[in-house]
Structure 1
């Protein structure tokens, strides 16, 4: 933990090598950041994984915007003695990662956005049905209901919360099935993440204030065509807005890029020049 200007900020550091910051997605925390970056850690990166506002031990200030979060992450890097580094954001964490690259270009060498959340069309890309809204409300309000449903109906939870077709689980290696269930399990206890979840829902659904066209860092964007949160369409729009961008879209995999973690890790490792890792 550090005492930042916005309040306590929780983080983890793991691995050896050149530092890289992994900003977790909705329902996560530093633990999800470490899970998303596990392959990169094995590839020789040192992972800095913060918990964003409203998640686990991090504060939830009055201004919990992605821009304020980006500024607070600079305080973390200053405390760690870390200068310029690649920054990766997954899902709603992509909002903060993009603001970091925009607001602090001297600290961001490369930007990677994975299944990025953003409202670029003045319309929330995630539309829940009435039953889905009821289920989400029950789950977000109760550790008991989250735990029960994740045990009794894990497939439905993977579809609703992780925006991934659960039938894909039958077509991927065991390691990928375990990763999917680990992502779901890490959302528990929901009570320590409610503020962050609701904040992400607001900022991901609100028309974006981020000037993506002014991002100067080389950028890699990755998504899956069948992501039930619609991030493939968002990824295409972002690739048109951010000047120096490479776009990779997998045909399947959902919001957790199921079956593509090794490939995604390899693409990111190749994207970061070897001079960054010397």
Structure 2
């Protein structure tokens, strides 16, 4: 009996010590992440309200509009990964993300107007506009409502309206946990899943874990970097809430005159391909590129995506 008690005490002590170390690691990491997103951005005080943004690099202006779970930091990373250098990148945090509050009107049209107002505030008459995932919605609104502001429109895995099959996320046990973490604004739950069961979060962001496991090390690192970019979840939760309940409707896409390129993947777990095809059919002259594999993060396709976008920008006269 004494040996059993001693064993249980050792087991309990080990559990407490391990839990304490894990929580300490989490607190340190959360503090570092909060510090990181607290630097590197500016605030533009617009009529619509304050908008957080980053302004980085030099060259032709590029407005990088992040998807759900993002912010200015994700916008900068997406521009670097999918477009490459040689641009002045303007990366706003959309409504409810990081230091951009939610205004009384948080509609997609208002988001498009906010993008236009930010460009005007920065004395940028025209920019290349890239909208990724949920960010494609306000990119399209900007292009429709302020066509003079958009030199080229780039839509990546666009979470747009489709009359046939809507953009959606599959329901399974792992995604239910991830949904719970997001709905609770749970920083610790996201951090723990990232360290203990990353495949849950990989699937939650629209990619099959097996695809990531088979990818080169650099691509696996890019995927995990994206997963980490959602932290601190609590600072992005209000924006995720807005993106989770969009009022998607058919827009007059045929009125878009800016050169447009749209990219998606057949195995995107968010099912963006029908919306991509629909938009490409509606926008006159739009170029549609579809990869067989890659998922929502276009795993293994980043180099090809960057090349295709730069060739398209060159054909539009934006880059030599």
Q: TM-score range by the shorter chain?
A: over 0.9
1:149 corresponds to which residue?
A: 193
Q: State the 1:124 CA deviation.
A: 3.7
The alpha-carbon distance between structure 1 residues 267 and 156, as it changes in their structure 2 partners (threshold 3 A), is same
Aligned positions of 1:163-182 closer than 5 A: 163-182=206-225
2:290 corresponds to which residue?
A: 249
When structure 1 is superposed on structure 2, of 60-69 and 250-259 the one drifting more is 60-69
**Do the aligned partners of 1:29 and 1:56 also contact (CA within 8 Å) in 2?**
yes
- In structure 1, how many angstroms separate the alpha carbons of the residues matched to 2:180 and 2:82? 35
Q: State TM-score, norm by structure 2.
A: 0.81
Write the deviation string for residues 197-255 of structure 1: whole angstroms up to 9, x where unpaired. Answer: 1111111xx33253212111111000111000001121111111111200000110100
Q: State the 1:63 CA deviation.
A: 1.4
Q: Which runs of no fewer than 5 residues in structure 1 stay unpaired?
A: none
| More RCO (CA 8 Å, sep 6+) | 1
Instruction: Tell me the SS of whatever aligns to 2:64.
Output: strand
- In structure 2, how many angstroms separate the alpha carbons of the residues matched to 1:229 and 1:42? 25
**Do the aligned partners of 2:262 and 2:286 also contact (CA within 8 Å) in 1?**
yes
Q: State TM-score, norm by structure 1.
A: 0.93
When structure 1 is superposed on structure 2, of 105-114 and 125-134 the one drifting more is 125-134
When structure 1 is superposed on structure 2, of 234-243 and 95-104 the one drifting more is 234-243
Task: Say which one has the larger Rg.
Answer: 2
- In structure 2, how many angstroms separate the alpha carbons of the residues matched to 1:144 and 1:127? 23
1:158 corresponds to which residue?
A: 202
2:235 corresponds to which residue?
A: 192
**Do the aligned partners of 1:213 and 1:243 also contact (CA within 8 Å) in 2?**
yes
Aligned pair partner of 1:267 in 291, 308, 316? 308
The alpha-carbon distance between structure 1 residues 193 and 250, as it changes in their structure 2 partners (threshold 3 A), is same
**Do the aligned partners of 1:140 and 1:190 also contact (CA within 8 Å) in 2?**
no
**Do the aligned partners of 1:163 and 1:229 also contact (CA within 8 Å) in 2?**
yes
- In structure 1, how many angstroms separate the alpha carbons of the residues matched to 2:182 and 2:195? 13
Q: Which runs of no fewer than 5 residues in structure 2 stay unpaired?
A: 1-42
Aligned positions of 1:81-96 closer than 5 A: 81-96=123-138
Coordinate RMSD, CA, aligned: 1.8
Q: State the 1:6 CA deviation.
A: 2.3
Write the deviation string for residues 146-193 of structure 1: whole angstroms up to 9, x where unpaired. Answer: 111111110111101x11011112332222111101111010111111
